[in-house]
Amino acid sequence: MTTSAITEALRLPAGPVDLTTIETDVAPGFDGSKSEGKDTLFAMGDELSDLQERLWAQCTVGSEQRVLLVLQGMDTSGKGGVLRHTIGLVDPQGVRITSFKAPTEEERAHDFLWRVEKGLPPAGFIGVFDRSHYEDVLIARVHGLAEPDEIERRYGAINDFEARLVGEGYSIIKCMLHISAEEQKARLAERLANPEKHWKYNPGDLDERAHWAAYREAYEVVLERTSTQLAPWHVVPSDKKWFRNLAIGQLLLETLRGLDLAWPEADFDVEAEQQRLAAESPVQ
């Protein structure tokens, strides 16, 4: 299978990560304009839907294959936009979206992966995590919600967890939606300027912005420690919303293509059934 220029460009090299050297307002691997980018994404819809249906069909004959798309990024980086514009191209019957908010008291009483296990997609589904277990090494690190030893333990626990999932039939696509601090400021200002978007704004968003550098550092550690052969990270330049949506569509498309999803063969005698149908007594 050939890999597209976009996928190649988003692949994170092994080793330490410096996010300040990865541009946010670019469209690596794609030569076209914004409107060509939108058209290219839209044109993927039929193939994505076809592949998703094959994935589902395979699970009806016992396949354990499924896809898990993990979306992480700072506020306003566009996780919701990806769900709407990219995941929205696929038949909703085959999609399972799980949003992770601040953990409840019950969730906090368990290991951090407890609620994540419960949110995993069934076989045959494309699961999407809107935020994820990575919050437990991001916000948890930035705000000291867990001891450093425990944070340290979690990187390994995450790698073990994801390796287990891949062994069970999961294809994992991890995307960090990478925006600049200036772009976030512009998007927050836009929310404040538009009364239809006030409900999306929370004064706490501005308090979080003060921790921008600490979050960047936390992301850099996450990317270095948890980008594995089995479940690599992709840093998706996301100042251009259309490129962000297109790039993630491309990753999803190539992942599904790579599963070599054939239609299942009939487990019954097709000709015999055709004869039965033709010969049935009148039904009314």
Q: Residue 152 half-sphere exposure, CB side, CA atoms within 13 Å?
A: 3
State yes or no: residue 277 binds a second copy (CB under 8 A).
yes
**From 62-70, 84-92, 139-147, 165-173, span contacting a second copy (CB under 8 A):** 84-92
Q: Which are the contacts of 124, defined by CB distance < 8 A and separation ≥ 6?
A: 55, 56, 57, 58, 59, 60, 63, 65, 66, 94
Kindly list the distances between the CA atom of residue 148 and the CA atoms of 116, 145, 152, 163, 204, in Å, as whole numbers in the listed order: 21, 9, 6, 23, 24
Site for a second copy, residues 214 to 243, rule: CB under 8 A: none
State yes or no: residue 43 binds a second copy (CB under 8 A).
no
| CA pair distance 231, 156, nearest whole angstrom | 13
In the chain the first and final C-alpha atoms are separated, in Å, by: 51
**From 30-38, 86-94, 146-154, 227-235, span contacting a second copy (CB under 8 A):** 86-94
Residue in 219, 202, 160, 235 with CA at minimum distance from that of residue 10: 235
In terms of Cβ atoms closer than 10 Å to its own Cβ (0-12, 13-18, 19+), residue 133 is buried
Site for a second copy, residues 87 to 106, rule: CB under 8 A: 87-88, 90-93, 95, 97, 99
State yes or no: residue 266 binds a second copy (CB under 8 A).
yes
Nearer to a second copy, 17 or 231 (CB): 17
> Would you call 42 helix, strand, or coil by DSSP?
helix
User: Smallest distance, Å, CB 8 to a second copy?
Assistant: 28
**From 9-17, 156-164, 199-207, 239-247, span contacting a second copy (CB under 8 A):** 199-207
User: Smallest distance, Å, CB 86 to a second copy?
Assistant: 10
User: Smallest distance, Å, CB 10 to a second copy?
Assistant: 23
Packed helices 212-226 and 148-168: angle between N→C axes, nearest 10 degrees: 50
Q: Which residues bind a second copy (CB under 8 A)?
A: 49, 57, 60-61, 80, 83-84, 87-88, 90-93, 95, 97, 99, 130, 181, 185, 188-189, 192-193, 195-196, 198-203, 206, 209-210, 212-213, 263-266, 268, 270, 273-274, 276-277, 280-281, 283-284
